[in-house]
Structure 1
């Protein structure tokens, strides 16, 4: 080092010290910078937060404050539902819906489970489809599409109203409550309602005499008419067989005679079963014919 001239000031050496140089090199390391800028503050925040909430009273206070804030917003008047409107349902169904729905108005619309309410409505037997929404003015609208009753099904366990698909609509205690709906009977009849409706439509020429249809052996149908008459239909193509029976009646008035059963289970051999008095009269005529028979008649 050169000696200073008289009157001159000492100038600091611009070269950094060894430790300062090392710190500068360390600061240029990305990992070290991330640790200083993010890691240590984050760790400190987590440590302090953990220490703060590690107290049951503080946790309860935080939860209560959060719930209070949520309720304050949800319970505002513009979010409250105070009226229930049901559209498209009969009076009986409306009463059933009001008994089933687990809601007590007024209620915040944030507390309504719209999908759950719709699923609950659709699960009701008389309901085909349902729409649930909240309208302006705090009105909960339930728009219901009811199933259309198609037939009455009588079976060992009771009397039920079914729609065209065989879905139960209602349960009756007295068949007189059904009105003019056609009647089907027998085990498994509810699983073949579309076919039954086709047969009822095909029996239009004798609708005034039609009592209903009976499922026999869970395999085939009998058409039941008044005066104790039946048309026994085959398992295969019953509508075509019924058309043949009605054609026989139109041509020869078969159903106007003392016939109890028209059996069409054999496709090419219809069988007519006579009533008791008709069989007795037939036997009497045959006996008279036999007694009046002489060898000269040969």
Structure 2
């Protein structure tokens, strides 16, 4: 009998993987599964652990305090501190208004300054047309202001408002005498027609010695107010051209030097001259005298 070889008695191992191992290997070849195992599960575990850690209020407060202390330690360094305030382009009165409207407590870190909010606050002031806010070297907070230019004084029932060329309020006056050489306008809605009013003021320069101001009538048209109670009623359309015609009439016939109360040009094709009450009485008397003379002449014939 032939002896059996020890090698031949060993069981034969199948080299093929098992079904579960094959499925795991196939699953591992999927990119999404590998990303989930390598990144997703550790990240999810970290989130769970971090959430559990900060769930305690004391730990959360300590983390916030530590972070704020670290940020403040950097922001409050001397090279980042603003210690001086400079205002350029503003009058002394406006500077006082700015300092009152912007109560900035210096020194202060420039990281704690809201430049956009400061500029919006400056531009919201009536006398300010535009503003620039920036921090200069040496810890200087520069407020560069462009003031509105006063153009007219608008007389209302509440008082006297100084307006710029666009009709924006600049300041409030307590006395008309403080308006200086500013043209005077009056009437409801006059502030919305300041550009037209300035054009009329420029056109009225030939009679500047008797010019008082402009009155807005019905928020539609203008009356030119002159000395001695005279006025020129302008139409709603083309008021400058109508004013030029009135000035031409005056240059040719000295209309404003006569007993004329109103030069009415509201109907451009038919100008009307309204006399003063005294002139009307005198004219009426002359007409009555002329009528009596005519009756007397007819009676003697």
Whether TM-score is above 0.5 comes out as: yes
Write the distance in 1 (CA, Å) between the matches of 2:278 and 2:75.
Answer: 81
Note the C-alpha offset of 1:16: 7.3
Normalising by structure 1, we get a TM-score of 0.89
Closer, same or farther: CA 282–24 of 1 in aligned 2, 3 Å: same
Note the C-alpha offset of 1:295: 3.2
2:145 match: 144
Write the distance in 1 (CA, Å) between the matches of 2:239 and 2:203.
Answer: 10
* Deviations, residues 58-92 of structure 1 (Å, cap 9, x unaligned): 11100000010111111111111111111111111
Note the C-alpha offset of 1:260: 1.0
SS of residue paired to 1:58: helix
* Aligned residue runs from structure 1 range 177-192, under 5 A: 177-192=178-193
**CA RMSD, 1 decimal:** 2.7
Are 1:26 and 2:24 counterparts?
A: yes
Note the C-alpha offset of 1:17: 10
Write the distance in 1 (CA, Å) between the matches of 2:180 and 2:16.
Answer: 108
* Deviations, residues 128-182 of structure 1 (Å, cap 9, x unaligned): 1111111111111111111111100001121100111111111111111111100
Write the distance in 2 (CA, Å) between the matches of 1:139 and 1:3.
Answer: 97
- How many positions carry a matched residue from both structures? 293
The 10-residue stretch of structure 1 (217-226 or 265-274) with the greater mean CA deviation from structure 2:
265-274
Note the C-alpha offset of 1:103: 2.1
* Deviations, residues 251-275 of structure 1 (Å, cap 9, x unaligned): 0101111111111112122111111
Q: Any unmatched runs of 5+ in structure 1?
A: 5-12
SS of residue paired to 1:165: coil
1:276 match: 277
1:212 match: 213
Normalising by structure 2, we get a TM-score of 0.88
Write the distance in 1 (CA, Å) between the matches of 2:80 and 2:5.
Answer: 87
Write the distance in 2 (CA, Å) between the matches of 1:204 and 1:99.
Answer: 41
SS of residue paired to 1:292: helix
